[in-house]
Structure 1
Amino acid sequence: MNANIIGQDDTGVGLVLSDNENREHELGIDGEGDIIHHQVDGIPNDPSTRTQTEKEQFSQARRYAKYYVAQETEYDTIPWNLNPKRFETVREALADLTVDELDDSFGDLFAQSLSHYADDPDVDTGGIERPYELPADKIGPEGAVLYEQELYLDDEGAIEGVSGVIVEYYVAKGERTTVRHDEAPVPDRDPDARVEISPAPFVDLKPFRDYLVYNLRCQIRDCYVGMGLEPPAEYKVLGPGQYRFTGKYQHFECYLAYFDVDADIPGYSHEFAPELPISDAELGGLVDPGSERSLYSQLKGALFSR
């Protein structure tokens, strides 16, 4: 992907963009980030006649155009949920939270996630109670649910506030819905990022924090991939990021399986390394370098027990 601005005035920006198939796109974007014109040879004008790959490549060009204009002009055209630079700022702020701050902001999300393992003999949940009952109209297994929480930064780049726990689930095949549990007001603006996680058996807040931080790292990867770009090296990681992109990776031929921690994609790796709630000395006693078991298998007892 590459682009050049060919015109700019008070109403917006015009640019020419060359996509990864060397097709030339002509786009107009207003100051709010809305596409007001998009013409390209090689992709049908009628969306109903486009292939799935053509539809996604058309969307990639629009995402990249908004990103490019935001980088090159004073216009704030990039959507909040596709802003890799902002996501990185949130990721750093989240990683710096103390245990008490984590508990204040993400304690309910932590408990909601861990509550799914109350009957698992290998996970010491400590009798934790589920803050919010699962919706009665949810279908599928108990763990087939996505938990989200929105984060807001202040002018100094610190976390100013968070939403309540957001529960996203299926009510029918192909039909999802969302329930919010906002118990306190949030800033009247778009969030700066939103963590999106499946239930995980972390029994300590520090590795749970690292789980959230890694999710944002994968989301940054998604931002770049969704614009038709190769991510910078530090974001060439494997694992679930944004749920909407996980679906694309699963079903669109133009994408690889970046969500899959075991995927064999050159240059990409699974790099989730949570902080363990034990000392270095204790850690040394748990790991046997000569063992045939994976490092995860040797350490999961420390992650999932108190």
Structure 2
Amino acid sequence: MKAEIRKETDDGYGVSVVDNNEVKHKIGVCYDGEIDGHIQDRYPDKAAERTHSEGEHVGHARRYAQYYVARETEHDTIPWDLDGDRFEEVRQALEGLSDGEIETCFGELLDQSLSHYDDDPEVDIGDTSRPHELPAEKIGPEGAVGYKQEIYLDAAGEIEAVSGIGIEYYVARGERRTVWHGDGLEREPDACVDILPAPLVDPAPFRDYLSYNLRCQIRDCYLMRGMEPPAEYKVLGHGQYRFTGKYENFDLYPPYHLIDADIPGYTHEFRPDLPITWGELAGMTDPGRGDSLYAQIKGALFSR
């Protein structure tokens, strides 16, 4: 991706972008980040007539133009939900929280996630109960659901507040909805964790799970503007759920969301704070056994 600011207008900038297909775009980016004009001569003008890959290249050009203006000027033109630098600030603040602070901020989210394992004899959920029932209109198995929680930083870069919990689910093939329980602050959040249920029972590994999710989301921010992320964000795993369908179905993208995907330069690096050492963990596994490594170790990792 390449860009150049060609002119400044009354309400923004005219930006020239060359995408990864070497197609040139002329894009108007307002001071607030709104796109108020987009001309290119290679792809169909109507979105419905573009292939998936063509549509993604058009989206990359727009988001890269917003990113480039933010980088080159004093204007904040990146949408909050694609602002990787802000996500990293939140991630660092999150990693600094104590177990007690995790319980205070994210205890309800932890309980909601853990409630999916109440029938698993290998996961000791204690007296955990589900804070919010799943919507009756949800289709698919119980675990086919995602959870969100918005995070707000204060002026010092510390976590000031969190929102209620958002439950994301499908009501029909290709039709996804989110219902929120509780409110956030009356401003845009600095980030939003976006997780799948996981059998993590303690605050410390759950904090690491949230942090890793944000790391994957930062990867998504780069990929969605046609860029390769820096090395520290070349990680595999679930990031923002809205991009999972692209990674699963569009030829343009490898499956970045899969932890065992074979993508050169990318690795799965989730290493939670465990109740035992990695040496002890290695001693518990036996490749010669017929069951999976997960089955061999989950009693040590996911029990209170």
Which TM bucket (shorter chain)? Answer: over 0.9
What's the Cα RMSD here?
A: 1.6
- Note closer, same or farther for the CA distance 1:300–1:194 as it changes in structure 2 (3 Å cut): same
% identity of equivalent residues:
58
Q: Is the 8 A contact 2:138 2:171 kept in 1?
A: yes
Q: How do 1:141-152 and structure 2 match up within 5 A?
A: 141-152=141-152
Q: What is the CA-CA distance between 1:253 and the residue it aligns to?
A: 1.0
Structure 1 residue 123 corresponds to structure 2 residue 123: yes
Q: Distance in 1 between matches of 2:105 and 2:69?
A: 34
Q: What is the CA-CA distance between 1:299 and the residue it aligns to?
A: 3.8
Q: What is the CA-CA distance between 1:29 and the residue it aligns to?
A: 0.9
State the partner residue of 1:238: 236
Q: What is the CA-CA distance between 1:8 and the residue it aligns to?
A: 1.4
Q: Distance in 2 between matches of 1:212 and 1:48?
A: 36
State the partner residue of 1:103: 103
Q: What is the CA-CA distance between 1:48 and the residue it aligns to?
A: 2.7
Q: Distance in 2 between matches of 1:296 and 1:141?
A: 21
- Runs (4+) of structure 1 exceeding 4 A deviation are 293-298
Amino acid at match of 2:61: A
Give 1:206's match in structure 2, choosing from 197, 200, 204.
204
Amino acid at match of 1:117: Y
Q: Is the 8 A contact 1:204 1:277 kept in 2?
A: no
Q: Is the 8 A contact 2:285 2:296 kept in 1?
A: no
Give 2:257's match in structure 1, choosing from 229, 252, 259.
259
Q: Is the 8 A contact 2:122 2:298 kept in 1?
A: no
Q: Distance in 1 between matches of 2:117 and 2:284?
A: 30
Structure 1: runs of 5+ lacking an equivalent: none
Give 2:287's match in structure 1, choosing from 268, 287, 292.
292
State the partner residue of 2:171: 171
Structure 2: runs of 5+ lacking an equivalent: none
Q: What is the CA-CA distance between 1:188 and the residue it aligns to?
A: 1.1
Amino acid at match of 2:179: V
Amino acid at match of 1:194: C
Q: Distance in 2 between matches of 1:286 and 1:49?
A: 53
| TM-score of the aligned structures, taking structure 2 as reference length | 0.95
| TM-score of the aligned structures, taking structure 1 as reference length | 0.94
Instruction: Please state whether the residue corresponding to 1:138 is helix, strand or coil.
Output: coil
Amino acid at match of 1:259: H
- Note closer, same or farther for the CA distance 1:233–1:200 as it changes in structure 2 (3 Å cut): same
Q: Is the 8 A contact 2:209 2:270 kept in 1?
A: yes
Deviations 1:197-237 (A, max 9, x none): 11110111111111110000000000001110000000000
State the partner residue of 2:275: 277
Figure out how many residues of one structure are paired with residues of the other and give that number.
301
Q: Distance in 2 between matches of 1:47 and 1:166?
A: 30
